[in-house]
Amino acid sequence: MIINRLTYLKLVKNGHKFLILQQIKGFKMGFMIRDVNLGLFILIVGTLIAFAGFTVYYQKTFTNLSLDYNTKLGELQKVSSTLQTEKARLNLTSYQLKIKAERESDLSQKYESMREQKEKLDKEKAELESDLGNTKSNLQQKVIELSAKSDELNQKIVELKSANTQIDSLNAQISTLKDDIKSKEGKIDTLCNQLKALGQSC
């Protein structure tokens, strides 16, 4: 209850001091109640404003988190897709590496086999070259010996021809001597016949 100045003066003039005091006390109590109500109102309004602010903040934060979540989810899906692709490529690469390793192992075994064959062939080649060298040396020796034999044979042929010539000459002499012997024998026969005719013996 609010008491204006005019009412207060009238009450003082009429001697109603107790009533005035009661009205002043009621005024103070009303003022205090009004202050409490105002404080509660301000507190409620502040609480509502704060709640609204927090609501807006959390709503905005939730929206941002939702957007971030969707963005991260999209990125995660993209990364997952990329990971699947890379996994497939890794599996393919692993398979290719396995095939390559098997080929390298096979090639290594073939290389070892070919190397052993090469070493064997090199050894056989060296032996053949050694044999060939020995054969060439023996052949040269045989050629030298054959040349010497050929020279000796040629000498023998010359000697044989000379001997044949001598034989032919001796045969001719023998033939001449045979003719002479026959001639002499004819003469002897003639002389024997003449002696027989004379009564003499041969």
Read off the DSSP letter of residue 67.
H
Domain count along the chain: 1
Q: Is residue 152 part of a domain?
A: yes
Is residue 158 one of the residues assigned to a domain? yes
d(CA 119, CA 103): 23
Are 20 and 12 a contacting pair, CB within 8 Å? yes
Dihedrals phi, psi of 70, to nearest 5 degrees: -65, -40
Q: The domain containing residue 102 runs over which residues?
A: 5-179
25-59: pLDDT as tens digits: 555 555 555 666 777 888 888 888 888 888 888 88
DSSP assignment of 35-64 equals HHHHHHHHHHHHHHHHHHHHHHHHHHHHHH
- 200 inside domain: no
- 188 assigned to some structural domain: no
pLDDT category, 3, cuts 50, 70, 90?
very low
Q: Is residue 187 part of a domain?
A: no
HSE at residue 195, side-chain half, CA atoms within 13 A, is 9
The pLDDT score that the predictor gives to residue 12 is: 46
pLDDT beyond 80 at 20: no
pTM above 0.85, yes or no: no
- Of all residues in the chain, the percent with pLDDT exceeding 90 is 8
97 is a domain residue? yes
Report pLDDT digits (tens) over 63-121: 888 888 888 888 888 988 888 998 898 889 988 999 988 888 888 888 888 889 999 99
For residue 10, pLDDT beyond 60: no
At residue 24, the pLDDT reads 52
Please give the structure tokens belonging to residue 188. Answer: 């002897």
Select, from the ranges 7-16, 170-179, 180-189, the one with the highest average predicted confidence (pLDDT). Answer: 170-179
Cα-based angle 166, 168, 170 (whole degrees, multiple of 5): 65
201/118 Cα distance (integer angstroms): 105
The pLDDT, as a whole number, for residue 119 is: 92
Which residues, at least 6 apart from 19, have a Cβ–Cβ distance to it below 8 Å? 11
